[in-house]
């Protein structure tokens, strides 16, 4: 029975050794799988970092383009406003000249002739332009020689202002 016991014992040791070998094999396989999983995770993180960097670069570029377009739009908007003001000034000065010459013809008052010549002199750049001249001006001038706004230091013709504002040649042709 002792021999049988040894055999049983030896069989149990072999079974335990076999079991340990299987467990060790599983651990090695599991460890290599985990190592493989960690390497895959590292690779995925690197790819994700590259994708994030590319997207961040694209977003930065788009922000730059948007900022540039916004600046261009603001410049165009300011140019459009300035063109509108100059065109309005041309229309207003034409209306003022028409009104003043008609009033002069009817009344014979030399004050209206003086105002008429002043409008022409401002329009032709011979005298300093009043501040904010694109707004209503001559409707507020009275016979007492008072000016509604002070003169600026700018002596430039309306045509030169339009040239500075980059009016197209076609636009000038329509004015003539």
Q: Per DSSP, what are the bridge partners of residue 151? A: 130
Q: What is the value of pTM for the model shown?
A: 0.61
Owner of token pair 């916004």: 70
Nearest to 96 by CA among 133, 151, 71, 128: 133
Q: Which of 130, 110, 132 is nearest to 121 (CA)?
A: 130
d(CA 82, CA 14): 99
Q: What is the pLDDT of residue 132?
A: 79
Q: What is the pLDDT along the chain (176 residues), one digit of tens a residue?
A: 444 444 444 455 555 556 656 555 655 555 555 566 778 888 888 999 999 999 999 999 999 999 999 999 999 999 999 888 888 888 898 999 999 999 999 999 998 898 899 899 999 999 888 887 877 777 777 666 677 776 777 888 888 888 898 888 888 788 77
From residue 63, alpha-carbon distances to 36, 48, 59, 70, 72 in Å are 40, 22, 6, 10, 14
- Phi and psi torsions of 145, nearest 5°: 70, 10
């Amino acid at each position: 029975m002792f021999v049988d016991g040894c055999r049983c014992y030896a069989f149990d040791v072999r079974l335990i050794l076999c079991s340990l070998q299987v467990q060790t094999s599983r651990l090695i396989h599991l460890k290599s799988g985990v190592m493989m999983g960690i390497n895959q995770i590292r690779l995925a993180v690197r790819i994700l970092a590259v994708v994030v960097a590319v997207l961040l670069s694209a977003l930065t570029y788009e922000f730059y383009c948007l900022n540039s377009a916004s600046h261009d739009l603001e410049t165009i908007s300011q140019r459009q406003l300035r063109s509108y003001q100059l065109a309005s000034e041309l229309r207003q000065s034409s209306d003022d000249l028409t009104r003043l010459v008609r009033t002069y013809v009817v009344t014979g008052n030399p004050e209206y002739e003086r105002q008429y010549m002043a409008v022409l002199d401002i329009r032709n750049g011979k005298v300093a332009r009043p501040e904010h001249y694109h707004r209503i001006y001559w409707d507020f001038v009275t016979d007492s020689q008072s000016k509604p706004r002070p003169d600026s230091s700018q002596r430039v013709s309306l045509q030169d202002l339009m040239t500075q504002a980059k009016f197209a040649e076609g636009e000038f042709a329509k004015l003539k």
